[in-house]
Amino acid sequence: MQEKLTGRCSCGAVSYECTSEPKFTLMCQCRQCQRITGTGHSAQFGVESNTTKIVGCVQLYALTSGDGNDVKSAFCGTCGNPLYKTTSMMPDMLFFHAATLDDPSQYKPHMVVHTDTAQPWDHIDPSIQRQT
């Protein structure tokens, strides 16, 4: 990915700018991500929150992950577009949905997580490292 990442929701009411490289990129196949995105997985990248500027007001939905961590899903209150998540497991990180990037082609996944809840119709490149 490029050093500076920018993105926004569908209507543009919320935007973000990250000035550091992602710490990691992943595809998550947990049930919460499936429900939040409406598909078989969510493509995410994790960045440090202190290197990210968010403009606009997000709504938060709190839930507990399958691992027992507190998770908050942030979405635009106007268009409902999911933008990012936070987790108590990594409180200094923001996990943005890759499709919200202004240039989503910058995203390259390095691992697939929670494969134990993968849907049989959700086919992800088998060369990407897996983790249950």
Banded model confidence at residue 24, pLDDT cuts 50, 70, 90 = very high
Residues 69-94 have pLDDT tens digits of 899 999 999 999 999 999 999 999 99
C-alpha distance across the termini of the chain, in Å: 25
Helix, strand, coil % (nearest 5) of the chain? 15, 45, 40
Residues 93-130 have pLDDT tens digits of 999 999 999 999 999 999 999 999 999 999 999 999 99
Maximum alpha-carbon separation in the chain: 38
Is pLDDT above 80 for 66?
no
Distance, in Å, from the CA atom of 26 to the CA atom of 95, rounded to the nearest integer, reads 10
Range of 79's domain? Answer: 5-131
Domains contained in the chain, number: 1
- What pTM value is reported for the model? 0.92
- The dihedral through the CA atoms of 113, 115, 117, 123 has a sign that is positive
At residue 3, the pLDDT reads 67
In this structure, what CATH number is given to the domain that contains residue 56?
2.170.150.70
